[in-house]
Structure 1
Amino acid sequence: MAIFLCSHCVSVCTYLNAWPAALMCIFCAVLQMAVLDYYLVHHLGHLHYYWLGIDAFNVILLFLSIYTAHRAIRKNIDTETKHRPIASGSMGWLAWLFMSASVAAKSVIILKYFAHELVESSQRFFGPNTLKTTIAMGSLIFPIFLISQHDAPFGSEARRVIDDLTETTPFDILDTADILQALLESNDSLVKGFPEMILTIAFLNLILPTVQLVTLANYNYGQRKISGRVVNAHRLLSVLAVNIPNLLTRLLLWHGFTTAVSPFTLKNILCIFLNLYDIYDQTRHHLIQIENKKQNYEENSKESLQRIRPDIEDEVLSFYSVATVMEKRRKLEDSQQSLSKISIKNSKDSKSGGMVSIEDIPM
């Protein structure tokens, strides 16, 4: 019975493909946009209702990106094996760019003007914790959205490429949302310009997953072979754009302004170490492969030369042997011709009674 239920569930999920994930992605995105809109309208006035038009555009673009990816998957179904190849997801990065830029812009406005005035209480649900959770919802939306953009089989090379490029992205979004805690409190003690620096880093980190989606779209979500340099470039980007800035910001907040330290400090250190080690290990492995190919080429060249050299020597020896025989034959023919001339001359001289001198004999 349990096996039947499991197989039935798998069949239903296969038929639905990624639509449950797509609906959940759209629901979470709409919820995130709506909560941020409430903060803006409630605290800054009805002028910010214009965000609803931008949100409607983002939802339509999000739906179109999911729908086109689904069509790309269904269009390429093999009718014999029912295997769905990987979708291109060419519009996915565009939808995420507009959606994340909208969320980042709203977050910057809220954190800049009135986030420090929010108070957490049992009577007010929309407090600082709800705001921080809403911003961090991007870490939930991104992996669900990614599921709707491809159908790479589990354990395949394409799935490995996708995981290599995006496995730390949800944690980077959580890291960014956590570092905004310093701006949810009174920031009078912060140095002038320091809050703006935090907001700039947060804005860039929220839209940074667009780079991964663009790369995946260019390589057809792992269906085309991706070079190790591209993967290392993404790892280096994660180190330089996310982990090092967030780590330095936390250290400054901790030691310079005596704010509470976050456990994500250890996450930044760990990600920096692991990414740099992966870059080193992959580069070392690549150099070893190049050296092995060079050695194999040299060994094959020596073996080929050793196989060719005896043949060349035999040909040279045979050439010189033929030349020697021809030279001897030529000399023998010359000698025979000289002797025949002498015999003819002697016969003439004998008839005429003359004598042959020794100078007439060719040497």
Structure 2
Amino acid sequence: MAFVNVILNKMCLELKNIPMKVLCIMLVILQSFFMDVIIINCYGTGPGGEDECKHCKLCYWWIAGDALIVAGFIVTFVVSYKHLEYYSNSRRLNKKHMSYGVPLSAIVWFIYSSYLSAKVAVIFITAIDDKLKSTDFYGPQFLKTGICLSGVVFILFVASHHKAKENSKERMYITSVSSGITFDVLDTVDFLDVLFVNETGLILSYPLERAILAIAILNLLRPTFSFILIILNHFNATKLSRELSAANAVVYIFFVNVPFMAVRMYLWHNLDSDMSVFLVKNFVMIFIGLNELHEISLEKTQEQDSSVIEMTPRLTTAHRPTDLVDSSPEGPPQYTDALVNRNETADV
């Protein structure tokens, strides 16, 4: 039994995070399948269909783009693996600060999220969502599942770029950020739910529809900014600058939660839409973000006050009134300051 445990431990050390990378790539492929099937089937019925769209063949080019995305993920994982191994074996560099992440990962993730956002935009702009029926297998739930997979992909993608130990502050920071991004993706899918007219029965104005779609797409792109921050502070191995922390809080408040809450409140009060449970999440996250901005501002003010105190010249011994006399226990105080002695001589 002990021999088996040794073999399993050795296999885990050799494999490292390869299973997570493989699973991440498989989910990217699965998500591409979900989105492409909806676009190809609904934008045109496909070759030989009665209502075949003349642009249907062009829809298959989405698959070529997906292949490039998958290739980009593979290249990123290979480069990140070599990056981690190089800095782990180097003795001249600080492994704690230099052993995590590469800029190529942020670029690939931005391309991936942009491509996913483009698919979402095409589906809702061309009214493909109106053709989806809840009774069909390729229905609204199929599309929502495909979009939700991006949150899981983000967790696996980030987990494949570090060697943080279990229960370390780096691991807890990574888990916190990844969980928050996944929660925001679910919030985005729930936000897009109002655009499915066949399910909600809501008749929205054209500007409101485009505003909802634009806000949702921005939220699908926002994980790129979070991933850049993770790289900049080396997965919490170094402290993030105060300016970047404030920028992250501002983006999270005014580009995600405030628009989501405002639109949901409008739909609730003016169109009698069902109140989403994520409305409470938006309110709580706004409060947390504002509190974070307050703490950052308070910390900056305290540092400025301390620097002013340090720059103030200290009083020397001769300038302090208590040092003008010699409090000797043998007799009355004897003045030692030269100015006081001159005054006594003048009085005499």
Query: What TM-score range do you get, normalising by the shorter chain?
Result: 0.7 to 0.9
User: What do the CA deviations read for 1:141-194 (whole angstroms, capped 9, x no partner)?
Assistant: 111101112223345555566567555222111111111111122466211221
**Deviation of the 1:99 alpha carbon:** 0.9
* Aligned: 1:100 with 2:100: no
Q: 2:287 is aligned with what amino acid?
A: F
**Deviation of the 1:68 alpha carbon:** 0.9
CA contact (8 A) 1:89 1:150 kept: no
User: What do the CA deviations read for 1:97-135 (whole angstroms, capped 9, x no partner)?
Assistant: 1111111111121123121221122xx321111111111
CA 1:153–1:84 in structure 2 vs 1: closer, same or farther (change >3 Å)? farther
Other-structure match for 1:353 = none
Aligned counterparts of 2:202 and 2:285: Cα–Cα separation in 1: 32
Aligned counterparts of 1:208 and 1:287: Cα–Cα separation in 2: 30
Other-structure match for 1:330 = none
2:155 to 121, 140, 143: 143
Q: How many residues align?
A: 312
Aligned counterparts of 1:114 and 1:52: Cα–Cα separation in 2: 18
Stretch moving more, 141-150 or 210-219: 210-219
The aligned runs of 1:97-246 (5 Å cut-off) are 97-112=110-125, 113-121=127-135, 124-154=136-166, 156=168, 158-159=170-171, 162=174, 167-186=179-198, 189-246=203-260
Query: Share of identical aligned residues, percent?
Result: 24
CA 1:301–1:152 in structure 2 vs 1: closer, same or farther (change >3 Å)? farther
Other-structure match for 2:65 = 54
Stretch moving more, 156-165 or 37-46: 156-165
CA 1:170–1:306 in structure 2 vs 1: closer, same or farther (change >3 Å)? farther
* Aligned: 1:33 with 2:47: no
CA contact (8 A) 2:154 2:178 kept: no
Aligned counterparts of 2:318 and 2:5: Cα–Cα separation in 1: 63
CA 1:307–1:226 in structure 2 vs 1: closer, same or farther (change >3 Å)? farther
Other-structure match for 1:351 = none
Aligned counterparts of 1:284 and 1:128: Cα–Cα separation in 2: 47
CA 1:202–1:4 in structure 2 vs 1: closer, same or farther (change >3 Å)? farther
Stretch moving more, 25-34 or 282-291: 282-291
Give the TM-score of the pair, scaled to structure 1.
Answer: 0.75
The aligned runs of 1:325-340 (5 Å cut-off) are none
Aligned counterparts of 2:6 and 2:110: Cα–Cα separation in 1: 38
* Aligned: 1:68 with 2:79: yes
CA contact (8 A) 2:69 2:112 kept: yes
Aligned counterparts of 2:172 and 2:285: Cα–Cα separation in 1: 19
Other-structure match for 2:293 = 279
Give the TM-score of the pair, scaled to structure 2.
Answer: 0.78
**Deviation of the 1:250 alpha carbon:** 1.1
Aligned counterparts of 1:167 and 1:279: Cα–Cα separation in 2: 21
5+ residue gaps, structure 1: 311-315, 318-363
* Aligned: 1:20 with 2:19: yes
Aligned counterparts of 2:212 and 2:5: Cα–Cα separation in 1: 48
Aligned counterparts of 2:214 and 2:119: Cα–Cα separation in 1: 13
**Deviation of the 1:296 alpha carbon:** 5.7
**Deviation of the 1:87 alpha carbon:** 2.3
User: What do the CA deviations read for 1:293-323 (whole angstroms, capped 9, x no partner)?
Assistant: 544665x834xx338998xxxxx97xxxxxx
Aligned counterparts of 1:226 and 1:6: Cα–Cα separation in 2: 40
Per the alignment, in what secondary structure is the counterpart of residue 220 of structure 2?
Answer: helix
**Deviation of the 1:51 alpha carbon:** 0.5
**Deviation of the 1:6 alpha carbon:** 7.5
Q: 1:22 is aligned with what amino acid?
A: K
CA contact (8 A) 1:88 1:217 kept: yes
Per the alignment, in what secondary structure is the counterpart of residue 283 of structure 1?
Answer: helix
CA contact (8 A) 1:89 1:220 kept: no
Aligned counterparts of 1:268 and 1:175: Cα–Cα separation in 2: 9
CA 1:6–1:183 in structure 2 vs 1: closer, same or farther (change >3 Å)? farther
CA contact (8 A) 2:42 2:131 kept: no
Larger radius of gyration: 1
Q: 2:147 is aligned with what amino acid?
A: I
5+ residue gaps, structure 2: 44-55, 324-336, 339-348
Q: 1:204 is aligned with what amino acid?
A: L
User: What do the CA deviations read for 1:66-116 (whole angstroms, capped 9, x no partner)?
Assistant: 111111111222499xx9753232211111111111111111211231212
